Amino acid sequence: MAKKPDRTKVAGIVVTSGENARDFPPGTEVVGHLRSGAHATFITVPVAAIVHKPKTLTWEAAGGLFLAGATALATLDTLKIGADDTTVISAAAGGVGSLETQLAKHRGATVVGTCAERNFDYLRQLGIKPVRYARASPIASDVLPVAR
C-alpha cells in the first residue's frame, strides 16, 4: 500500500498578508499545521496556524518539530503545569514527550518521565527523573518515591 502524502504541514515564505497578520509580513519564513489542504503551491492560512520558522533550523527540522511542539505546549497549557507542580510525562524520550518534558522543566515543574531504560541518561541530561515504563507492577510504586 502506498503511503499517503502528508497534507497537514505548512512551510514556506509569506507572499502577501492581511491586516490581522501584522507579525507575518511578506518575506517571512513560517511553519505551521492545518487539518488538511496544505499540499499546494499557494494557500491561505489562518494566523493561529503558523509560527515564525527559527532562522537556525532547516526547513525540514522546523516543519517536523512544529506539530510535536504545538501538541506538547497545548497539553501543558491545558493542564496549567507551572512552577511547584510535579508532572509525570509518558514516553518522555519520544517526539512529543521530549519537548513536553523540557517545556515543563522550563516552567519550573518537577518532571518525572517514563521511558525505556536505554533512555535514562538522555532524560537525566535534561534534568528529568526517569522511570521505566515496561513493567508488570503498577507504575505508581516507582513514580511516587522519585516525584518527592
Q: Tell which wins on pLDDT, 136 or 98.
A: 98
- How confident is the model at residue 3, as a pLDDT? 52
> Which among 113, 143, 142, 141 has a CA at the least distance from the CA of 128?
113
pLDDT tens-digit readout, 78-116: 999 999 999 999 999 999 999 999 999 999 999 999 999
- How confident is the model at residue 104, as a pLDDT? 96
* Residue 145 predicted with pLDDT over 60: yes
Whole-model pTM above 0.85? no
Of the listed ranges 38-42, 123-127, 135-139, the one predicted with least confidence? 135-139
* Residue 24 predicted with pLDDT over 90: yes
Burial class (CB in 10 A: 0-12, 13-18, 19+), 71: middle
Cα dihedral value 99, 101, 102, 107, nearest 10: 120
* Residue 36 predicted with pLDDT over 90: no
- How confident is the model at residue 69, as a pLDDT? 86
Average pLDDT of the segment spanning 118-133: 94
DSSP 58-124: -HHHHHHHHHHHHHHHHHHHHHT--TT-EEEETTTTSHHHHHHHHHHHHTT-EEEEEE-GGGHHHHH
How does the average pLDDT of the chain come out, rounded? 87
- How confident is the model at residue 2, as a pLDDT? 52
